[in-house]
Amino acid sequence: MKRETLDKHSSRYAVGLMSGTSVDGIDAAVIELADRQEGSISVQMIAFENVPYPAAVRQEIFALFDPVQATVDRMGRLDVLLGELYADAALSVIAKAGLTPADITVIGSHGQTIYHAPQMEKLHGYDIHYTVQIGEGSVIRARTGIPCVTDFRPADMAAGGQGAPLVPFTEFLLYREEKRTLLLQNIGGIGNMTVIPAGCAQEEVFAFDTGPGNMIIDGVVERLFSGQLTMDIGGAIARRGRIHEGLLGLLKLEPYYSQPLPKSTGREQFGSSYIDWLLNEAGKQNVTPEDVVATVTMLTAWSIGDAYCRYVHGRYPADALIVGGGGSYNPVLVENLRREMEMLGVQVMTQEQIGQSSDAKEAVAFAILADYALRRQPNNLPNVTGAKRPVVMGKISF
């Protein structure tokens, strides 16, 4: 980047906090932003940390995924507790960056999603859809002294959108190229794809959830290797197993994969009840634990390739797919994905291979989204979420 294209007086620092559907911890990033003369922004990551959730807290979060257990008192208590933990994570990464809270303009916190219901339903004559994220922003503000933006999704949903995915707004700002069509694939608990056509305008970007990312893999590992593992570290279990074509064929019949765009999903679709059903079907077919893990790992890779074929390839044949999120550290998953995509002429690379960070990408995104919210600038992509208009997402605790 050329120094003369930046407005030096606009340089500022922001913190982003992200906790995803895998519930493995809090990603915290400090970034420096500067406005370019042509109206875009420049972003540089200054520091990053991942703070694992204490085991007892993680267990309480998982309990809230069950609506029967998600009582008002438990939800309220954990909302405040996560605010405290997020504030601690923010202060820690600020110190790691060699800065003080007074140096930071804003904190953007995604919060922990407890329930996401993007499909409209009729209620007393009104079209209703809703979402629930916890991690109280006023607590983060009180502990850090920094304005905090939280609860991003409802503003988009109030405008008719699904409130997801949100990161494509920042991916357009940071990754767009004039001559290459890029796919940005995040593999967290859920997989989501952003399509950035070569030389596109903001309105041409589209994105959607491809289906399960690590959620099913983690879920079956935690059940089949109870007390030993909560995830398939390095794809070691999948590498010992074989893909069971019968079970894989059954899993491919899930209706979500063929739903029209825009679409998003979550633990409500691919969580505990789905794992119960999947393992019951695996038992009927006498599939070994290792083969179950190998099969669901392949399912995630297949779902990404299938989504590309269904929704993207005919309009925007892609040059490259860049993988981020925790799934990018599973070499078996990445190998499967590479085979799926390279047959279609798409090169597969990880964020690290292009000099970025898979871990930090979404935390960086929420720092940018918060910066836009604080400046009252629209920060959703209606073409992605299905919203009727651009809106300023986020509730600000001053």
pLDDT of 286: 96
- Are 84 and 139 in contact by the 8 Å Cβ rule? The answer is yes
What is d(CA 365, CA 349) in angstroms, rounded to the nearest whole number?
20
Residue 21 pLDDT level (bands cut at 50, 70, 90): confident
Q: How many CB atoms lie within 10 A of CB 104?
A: 22
Q: Which two tokens stand for residue 126?
A: 């009104």
Q: Averaged over 209-229, what is the pLDDT?
A: 95
What is the Cα–Cα distance from 367 to 32, expressed in whole angstroms? Answer: 10
Tokens of residue 201, six digits: 């305008």
- Categorize the per-residue pLDDT at 136 as very low, low, confident or very high, splitting at 50, 70 and 90: very high
Classify residue 177 by burial, with Cβ atoms within 10 Å: 0-12, 13-18, 19+.
Answer: middle
Q: With contact defined as beta carbons under 8 Å apart, do 106 and 90 qualify? A: no
Q: Mean pLDDT across the chain, nearest whole number?
A: 94
Can you give the pTM of this predicted structure? 0.87
Angstrom distances, CA of residue 90 to CA of 12, 18, 57, 103, 184: 16, 11, 18, 13, 26
290-321 in b/e form (b: 16+ CB < 10 A) is bbbbbbbbbbbbbbbbbbbeebbeeebebebb
Residue 38's pLDDT is: 66
Cα 333 from Cα 152, distance rounded (Å): 30
Let me know: does 113 contact 131? Beta carbons within 8 Å. yes
- Rounded distance, CA 393 to CA 153, Å? 7
Q: Give me 165's structure tokens.
A: 């995915």
